[in-house]
Amino acid sequence: MPANTIEHNRTRQNFEGVSSIWLFGYGSLIYKVDFPFLEQRPATIHGWERRFWQGSHDHRGTPEAPGRVVTLIESPGAACKGMAYRVSPTVFEHLDVREKNGYLRFATTMTFEDGGECEGLVYIATQDNEAFLGHAPDAEIARQIAGAAGPSGPNSEYLLRLADSLRALGDACPHTFAIETHLRSDAERDT
């Protein structure tokens, strides 16, 4: 899978006759809402875990010093909370560019807080994409994030804003919070 997924995503779903579709966001799509939406609802997807295993060479890092951003890893029994948006399919023209560094649109089922379910889409960067970095110890991920920045800003801002958003949503994501703790204590130690 090439690092740039724009063309690939354009061929993945047929939006003919579709006026709106639900999109599930679990990373920056929770807090950086730079696209129009018709409706917004907290939601959960099951069988997936959030992981800082995707490299960011274009937004929160550079090709020389990539940052780390989240993707989803299959994990039976797990649940991942995020924000669902009902959007016009035209929104994907913008989002496919924003998520171009390895993310593909997949169909998913999301569950709303009232128990209702809905089919929609989610961007996932799978292990076969060129920017995938994979597992590393939490402390090492925190150090990499602390040292990375790109056109969208410091990688630490991505992590801290995501952690705050997950607290607001009530998502106990031990992976994100452990990396946040490392990042904050390293910063304190270095001051």
Cβ closest to ligand SIN, residue 146 vs residue 162: 162
117 is catalytic: no
> Cβ of residue 25: shortest distance to ligand SIN, in angstroms?
4
Residue 90's identity, in one-letter code, is T
> Cβ of residue 176: shortest distance to ligand SIN, in angstroms?
12
> Cβ of residue 166: shortest distance to ligand SIN, in angstroms?
12
> Cβ of residue 69: shortest distance to ligand SIN, in angstroms?
5
> Cβ of residue 127: shortest distance to ligand SIN, in angstroms?
15
Percent helix / strand / coil, the chain, rounded to 5: 30, 35, 35
CA–CA distance from 52 to each of 27, 42, 135, 149, 181 (Å)? 10, 21, 8, 15, 14
Cβ closest to ligand SIN, residue 68 vs residue 182: 68
Pairing assessment for the beta strands 117-125 and 103-112 based on DSSP bridges: antiparallel
Binding residues for ligand SIN, per CB under 6 A?
Answer: 25-29, 69-70, 99, 123
Residue count (the chain):
191
Q: What torsion do the CA atoms of 86, 92, 93, 94 make, to the nearest 10 degrees?
A: 80
Catalytic residue among 99, 130, 140, 157: 99
Query: Given CA atoms 167, 169, 174, 175 in this order, what sign does their dihedral have?
Result: negative
- The three-point CA angle 168-172-177 to 5° equals 90
Cβ closest to ligand SIN, residue 10 vs residue 185: 10
Cβ closest to ligand SIN, residue 99 vs residue 180: 99
Main-chain phi, psi angles of 50, to 5 degrees: -80, 135
Cβ closest to ligand SIN, residue 25 vs residue 142: 25
Helix axes 138-146, 155-169, angle to 10 degrees: 120
Tell me the residue nearest to ligand SIN as measured from the CB: 27
Residues identified as active-site: 99
